[in-house]
Structure 1
Amino acid sequence: MAEKESFVPSLKLIDATMLVAGSMIGSGIFIVSADITRNTGSAGWLLFVWLITGFMTLTAALSYGELSAMFPKAGGQYVYLKQAYNPLVAFLYGWSFFTVIQTATIAAVGVAFAKFTAYLFPQLGEDHLLLQAGFLKISSAQLLAIGVIVLLTFINSLGVNSGKAVQTIFTSAKLVSLTALIIFGFVAFKPEVWHVNWTDAWNLHQLGKDGSVANYTTIAALGAIAAAMVGSIFSSDSWNNVTFIAGEIKNPKKNIGLSLALGTLIVTVIYIVTNLMYLSVLSLHDIAASDKDRVGVTASQHIFGGPGTWIIAVLIMVSTFGCNNGLIMAGARVYYSMAKDGLFFKKAGHLNQKAVPGYGLWVQCLLASLWCLSGKYGDLLDMISFVVVVFYMLTIAGIFILRKKMPDAERPYRAVGYPVLPVIYILMGLAFCLLLIAYKPAYTWPGLLITLAGIPVYYIILRSSHAKSAAQ
C-alpha cells in the first residue's frame, strides 16, 4: 500500500482533552507526595507545592493556546520555538525531547506499569532477574515494560483512530477509578488524623522516614520547595503533547486551546483533591515513610484493608497504560516535523499507509526500550525537569516575540491574562530553575549537558546536508 501524503484530521475536542489528561496522569500522583512531604514536613506546604505546580501548568497551557491557534501543525512546541527563535533552538528542544524527555518518560511509565503488575503477579517484578552479566541486569519488569511499549507502538502504527480508541477508553477508566478512590477515601475520613495533620500546617521543615525533624534556614527552605516541585512538575508534565498532533485534530485553531485548558484543569483539580484525601486517612509520617514512596498503596490499604493493594495496583496499571499510549502517539509527530526540516532521520518524515509516522514511532520505541534496559531513566527524569521548564519558559516568552515579529498574524485565540500571566509563569519558572541550580545542582547540570550536546549534532547535520546538496 502507498504511503499517505498528509495527516487525516479525525480527533474531536473530547479526544484531544482525553489526550491531555491521559498523558498527564501516570503513576506520579500515587508516589511523589512522599518525597514532597519529606521536603516540606507539613500539610499546608504539601498542598502549596501541588497548587503552585497546578497554577504554573494551567498558566502555561492557557498561554500555549495562542501559539497552537497560530501554528496548528504537527510538532507543536518544536514549531513554536522555530517560529519565535530559530531552527537551532527548536532542534535543541527536539534533541532533548527524543534523547531523554519523551523516551525516558515512556520507559519510566512502562516500568511503573510493570512494578504494579507485580503486585498481582510477583514473578513479573523487578526482583525477578532473568539475566545478570556484570553491570547489565535484566528483570521481568523491564521486559514487561518493553512489551507494553512495543504493543502500544504497534497499535498506534495502525492509525490515529486506533490510538484514539485506547486513549479514550483508558483515560475514561482512570478518571472514573481515581474519582471512586477519592470518594472512598473521604468516606474513610479519620478526624483525628486530619486534625493532627493540620496542626501547625505551615511549619516548613524536613521530615525523615524515621520521623526525625530538621529545620531549614530561610534560604534553604526555598531550595527545599524547589526540590519538592521536581516531583509535582514531572507528574503534571506532558500536557503539551496534544500540540504535537495538531495536524490530526478537527478545527485545531479552536480545539487545541480548549483541550489544553480543560485537560489541565481536570487534572489539577484531581491532583489537589487526591492529596486532600491522603491527608484525611494518612498521617504525615505515613505519607513520608510509605514503602518505596507508594503513597497510593498505603492510602488504599487504610481505605480498603487487605484488598487495597490489589485495587490500587489495577488502578495504576490502567493509569500508566493509558499515559504511555498518549506519550507514544504524540512523540512521533515531533520527529516527523524535525525530519521535514532535515534534522532527523529522513524516513521519520514520511507517513505510512495509515497516515501516521510509522518510522518515527518505531525509532522512539527502540530508544525507549533501551532506556528500560538501562535502569537509569528515573535519574535522568529528575535531571531533565530543569530543562523542561527552561523550554516552557522560552516557548511562553515566544508569545511576546511573535507579537512583535508577526503583529498582523491571525490569532483566533489569545493567551489568557496576557501579558500578566505569561510574565508570572516566566518569573516563577526562573525562580524554580535558579533555586535548583543553587541548592540541587545534581538536578540541573546533567540535563543541561544533554541539551547542549545537541549543538555540535545540529551543525554536523547541517554540514552533512550541505555536502549532499553540493554533491547533487
Structure 2
Amino acid sequence: MENETENHEMKRELGLLDATMLVVGSMIGSGIFIVSADITRSVGSAGWLIIIWLLTGMVTLMAALSYGELSAMYPKAGGQYVYLKESYNKLIAFLYGWSTFMVIQTGTIAAVGVAFAKFAAYLYAPLGDDNILFSIGGVNINAAQILAISTIILLTWINSRGVKNGKIIQTILTIVKILSLFGLIIAGLAFSFRTEVWQANWTDMFTPFRWDASTQTKVTIGGATLFAGVVSAMVGSLFSSDAWNNVTFIAGEIRNPRKNIGLSLFLGTMIVTVIYVSTNIMYTAVLSMEEIANAPADRVAVAASQYIFGTAGTLVIAIMIMISTFGCNNGLILSGARVYYTMAQDGVFFKQAAVLNKFEVPGWGLWAQCLWASALCLTGRYGDLLDYVIFVVLIFYILTIGGIFILRRKYPDADRPYKAFGYPFIPALYIVCAAVICGGLLYYKTSTCGWGLVIVLLGIPVYYISERYRKS
C-alpha cells in the first residue's frame, strides 16, 4: 500500500485517561439498554436481577485485576495474544487471534453497528431493517445493514489516519456516554420514582422465578432450574461487560504501559460495574418486574424513559444508544487490528497486516477487519454469532488467567512491576467461576456453544497449513 513501511513504529500517544475511556467505551454498547429484559425473564425478581449484574461485575473485575500482571510483564501490541503465546505456545495464541478475527471482534463490530442503525430508525424511519433496498443472490439487503456498514467504514477510515484521531473520538464519546447514563439514572430515581412499584419489586426480592411469556405467568424456580436460569441470564450481562481487555491490544501505543494498562483495567471495569448496577436499580424504581420482562423488543431503557421523559423518551434513548454504540465500535475497531498486526509479525496472519501505514497504524489490518465485519452485517447471522461469542471469550479468558500460574513457574524471577491482586486466590476463583459458566452454557445451550467451539477448532488446520506455507 502507498507510503507504507515496516520501519515505522507505533506512537505512544495514549495516556491513562485515554486508556480508561477505551475500556469503558468498548464495554458499554447497547446491552445495558436491552438485556435486563431477558435476565428478568430468566430469574424474575429484583434481587436476582441485581445479583446477576453484581456477579458479572465481580467476575469481570477479578479478570481485569489478574490481567494487570500480564500487561505489566508484556506491554506490547497484541495484548492477550501475546500473553497466550508466552504462557503456552503459538498455536494457542493463534487460535485466540483466529477466533478474534472470525467471530469475537468482527462479529461484535457487526452487531453493534446494526444496533446503531436500528435505533437511528427511530429518528428517521427509512433507515430501519424493514426497508429492503435491493437483493443479491436472493439475500435481501436493508437500509439498517447499509448504515451499519457505512459507520464501520467511516470509523475504520478515521482510525487508519492515526491513533490520535481514534482516541479523541473515543474519549469525547465515552465521557458523553457516562454523563448521559448517570443523567438517566438520576432523572429516573429523582423524578420518576414510583413508590408502589419499588415496594412491589422488592417484596420477596430474593425469590427467583421464571416468566412464562406464553401464559403471562411466573413460576418459582430453584435448584438446577435456577442454575440454568442464572447461566442463561449471565450470557447477556457478560456480553454487555465484555471487550474490557481491548486496551491490552494497543499496549504499544500507551504511555507508561506497565502502570497505565493495569490501572485503566481496574478503573474502567469499576466505572462500568457502578453504572450497570445503578441503571438496573433505576429500572426497578420506574418499572414493574413484569414491565421489565415484557418490554417491547426488550428495550427496557425505552420503556423506562417514557415514564421519565414522556413521549420524547424514545428519542432520548435512541440518541443515547446511537452515541453509545458509535463510541463502542470506535474502540473495537481501534484495538482489534493490533492483534492481527502482532499475529502477522509472527507469520501466522497475512503479512500485509504487519505493515504500518504512514500514520504509524496497521492500516491493512484495519481494512481487513472492516471487510469481514461488513460481510457479517450482510449475512444477517450476527445475532447467532453473539450467542456463542461469550462462550469462546470465556474459554480464552480462562486460558489467559491460567497463564499467570504457568508464568510464575516458568519465570519465577521475571520482573513483575504489578502482581495479580489476591494471587493465587482471586485468579483461581475467576477460573472456577468462568469454568462453571462455560460448563453451564455448553450443557444448556449446546447448539450455539458447540458451533463456537467448532470455529475455534477449525483454526487448528488453518494454523498448520499457514506454518507449512511459511516454511516452504
Partner of 1:118: 121
Cα deviations across residues 305-354 of structure 1 (Å, max 9, x unaligned)?
10000000000000000000000000000000000000101000010000
Deviation at residue 2 of structure 1 after TM alignment:
5.0
Of 302, 310, 319, the residue aligned with 1:314 is 319
1:354-410, Cα deviation, whole Å (9 max, x unpaired): 000000000000000000001111111111211111110110010000000011111
- Encode CA deviations 1:47-83: one digit per residue, 9 max, x unaligned: 1111001000000000000000000000000000000
The 5-angstrom pairing of residues 163-312 of structure 1 reads 163-187=166-190, 188-209=192-213, 211-216=216-221, 218-312=223-317
Structure-2 separation of matches of 1:291 and 1:263: 31
Say if 2:377 is the partner of 1:372. yes
**CA displacement at 1:217 relative to structure 2:** 5.0
Paired amino acid for 1:455: I
Could you tell me how far 1:220 is from its partner in structure 2?
Answer: 2.1
What amino acid is aligned across from residue 214 of structure 1 in structure 2? V
Relative to the length of structure 2, the TM-score reads 0.98
Corresponding residue number in structure 1 for 2:393: 388
Deviation at 1:214, TM superposition (A): 2.7
Count of aligned positions: 467
Partner of 1:420: 425
Unaligned runs of 5+ in 1: 468-472
Cα distance in structure 2, aligned partners of 1:331 and 1:137: 29
Task: Indicate which of 354, 362, 384 corresponds to 1:357.
Answer: 362
Task: Determine if contact 1:300/1:308 at 8 Å carries over to the other structure.
Answer: yes
- The offset of 1:135, in angstroms, is 4.7
Tell me the SS of whatever aligns to 1:206: strand
- 3-state secondary structure, aligned to 1:138: strand
RMSD: 1.0
Aligned to 2:90: 87
Task: Give the Cα–Cα distance (whole angstroms) in 1 for the partners of residues 445 and 228 of structure 2.
Answer: 7
What percent identity do the matched residue pairs reach? Answer: 61
Taking the TM superposition and a 5 Å limit, the aligned residue runs for 1:20-59 are 20-59=23-62
Deviations 1:212-242 (A, max 9, x none): 2234351121011101100000000000000
**Alignment TM-score, normalising by the size of structure 1:** 0.98
Matched with 2:445 is 440
Once the two structures are superposed, what CA deviation does each residue of 1:243-292 show, in whole Å capped at 9, x if it has no partner? 00000000000000000000000000000000000000001111111111
> Given residue 404 of structure 1, which amino acid in structure 2 is its aligned partner?
R
Q: Would you say the 8 A contact 2:185–2:279 is kept in 1?
A: yes
Q: Which residue of 2 aligns with 1:160?
A: 163
Q: Which structure 2 residues correspond to residues 457-472 of structure 1 after superposition, within 5 A?
A: 457-467=462-472
Alpha-carbon distance in 1 for matches of 2:138, 2:255 = 49
> Over residues 17-62 of structure 1, what are the superposed CA-to-partner deviations in whole Å (9 max), with x where a residue is unaligned?
0000000000000000000000001111111111001000000000
Equivalent residue, structure 2, for 1:470: none
Aligned partner letter, 2:159: N
Q: What is the alpha-carbon distance in structure 1 between the residues aligned to residue 348 and residue 210 of structure 2?
A: 46
Matched residues in 2 for 1:39 and 1:152: separation? 36
User: How far is the alpha carbon of 1:5 from its aligned partner?
Assistant: 2.1
Q: Secondary structure at the match of 1:130?
A: strand
Q: 1:199: how far off?
A: 1.2
Bigger mean CA offset, 38-47 vs 433-442? 433-442
